[in-house]
Amino acid sequence: MQACAQPEREAHGMISEAPAVLSSRPALSCLHVVTITPFFPTQHDRVSGCFVAEPLSYVGSHGVRNSVVAVNRFYERKLASLAEMPAQCVRYACLPGNAGLASAGAFLFRGLIARIRALHQRQRIDLIHAHSALPCGDAAELIGRTLKIPFVVTVHGLDAFSSSQVRGILGHWCKRRTTRVYKRAQSVLSISRKVQQKVQAGCPEAYTIVVYNGVDSQLFRPDSAKADSSTILCVGNLIPTKGQELLIRAFAEVRKAVPQAVLRFIGTGAQEPSLRRLATQLGTERAIAFEGRQDRESLARSMRDCAVFALPSSYEGLGCVYLEAMSSGKPVIGCTGQGIEEVVHHEENGFLIRPDDPHGLSHTLTRLLKNKSLREQVGVRARRTILSRFTLKHQAAVLVEAYREAVR
């Protein structure tokens, strides 16, 4: 039996495969996992889905081979795999928008079953790992039932049953199909206890495990010599739930106490025009930069260069960017009631405010910008927190144990 060490590469347009495993049962030290995900870095977008891709090499060091299938809808841009993060890119038919979410898993199943069956015949698949219940978990359940392969599913956000993004009869159908996925999965992997509670509340029968996201602690590392004592950094999609409007309003107050303060936004989204208008109305447009998306290296530099990281999101399952800022030795500001509350302890390794409290946010920002010693002390404790529990190695170890439990 050949050693299993690295994620699989794409070959001749087919899903990549591992060398043959002679035993009819999976050896726990050498598993072949097929990952089906709508989130994965591609040539068009090298950043999207890094939280799925980056742990794979660490999982591989535990003797797990991964064949990755990156999926997207037929009317979206055709994806192309990256050589350094290989995946088979597959588009699937579906009804457009949220109206098609409930049925998308069935369409995805039809688009994948022949490929997965052929791969399974050449190289036994021990487990399917789906990211999000719809459509990938739904397709994984159908594939698993057809080919007798167990599956697990990861839930990445608080909308665990798609009940927020889809309403009415279609929303009810989404919840019903999602519940079926959770019941039939060997395990439901939640990125935080907050997400786990959402799953358990809607589907008590599900077997749930918390697998926190991890950070590349070498890429996201401190460099106090480069830290700008007046820069606030915010990273995230420019959408209402991320709290950028609250941050701009708080920043206007911060500038009265710290006139040299600067606010940088990294990310894109439909709310950018309205955020720019708000900054102009408040007279802070010259101190606020909208920088679009950045690659991982550039993002890591931005983390090192800032003084404070703030993302007052009101709907966050965990938030990898908080962990990356903490790993960079920065004090972070998040909101109470979110998944990050499980990592950040107020005034110890970060700060937590209410999601609707611009005064609390401006007070905390001003306090940090004026107190370098406080920033450094909190930043050191933040870095220690990441190194103790939240690196990619930690994530991979828990994930591999979940895999092994699923195939026993």
The full DSSP string for 240-255 is: GGGTHHHHHHHHHHHH
Please provide the DSSP assignment of 340-368 as one string.
GGGT--BTTTBEEE-TT-HHHHHHHHHHH
Torsional sign, CA 161, 238, 154, 328: negative
* Helices 272-281/244-257 angle, 10° precision: 30
Model-wide pTM > 0.75: yes
Instruction: Tell me the pLDDT band of 99, cut-offs 50, 70 and 90.
Output: confident
- 230, with CB counted inside 10 A (0-12, 13-18, 19+), is middle
Give φ, ψ of 339 to 5 degrees: -60, -30
Note the pLDDT of residue 28. 54
CB 377 within 8 A of CB 347: no
Residue 283: left if φ>0, alpha if ψ -120 to 50, beta else—which one? left
pLDDT in tens, 377-399: 999 999 999 999 999 999 999 99
Note the pLDDT of residue 65. 95
Note the pLDDT of residue 227. 67
Instruction: Tell me the pLDDT band of 4, cut-offs 50, 70 and 90.
Output: low
Residue 118: left if φ>0, alpha if ψ -120 to 50, beta else—which one? alpha
Mean local confidence (pLDDT), 306-332: 97
Is the model's pLDDT at 104 over the cut of 60? yes
346-367 burial string, b = 16+ CB within 10 Å, else e? eeebbbbbebebbebbbbbbbb
* Helices 193-202/168-184 angle, 10° precision: 100
Please provide the DSSP assignment of 109-144 as one string.
HHHHHHHHHHHHHHS---EEEEESIIIIIHHHHHHH
What the chain holds in terms of domains, given with CATH numbers, is 31-213+392-407 (3.40.50.2000), 224-389 (3.40.50.2000)
Is the model's pLDDT at 129 over the cut of 80? yes
CB 310 within 8 A of CB 249: no
Note the pLDDT of residue 41. 96
Q: Nearest-5° angle of CA 59, CA 132, CA 160?
A: 125
CB 250 within 8 A of CB 362: yes
User: Nearest Cα to 366, choosing from 229, 242, 264?
Assistant: 229
pLDDT in tens, 175-211: 999 999 999 999 999 999 999 999 999 999 999 999 9
CB atoms within 10 A of CB 53: 25
Angstrom distance (rounded) from CA 243 to CA 241 = 5
In total, the chain counts a number of residues equal to 408
Note the pLDDT of residue 14. 36
Note the pLDDT of residue 123. 94
Note the pLDDT of residue 225. 74
Note the pLDDT of residue 7. 37
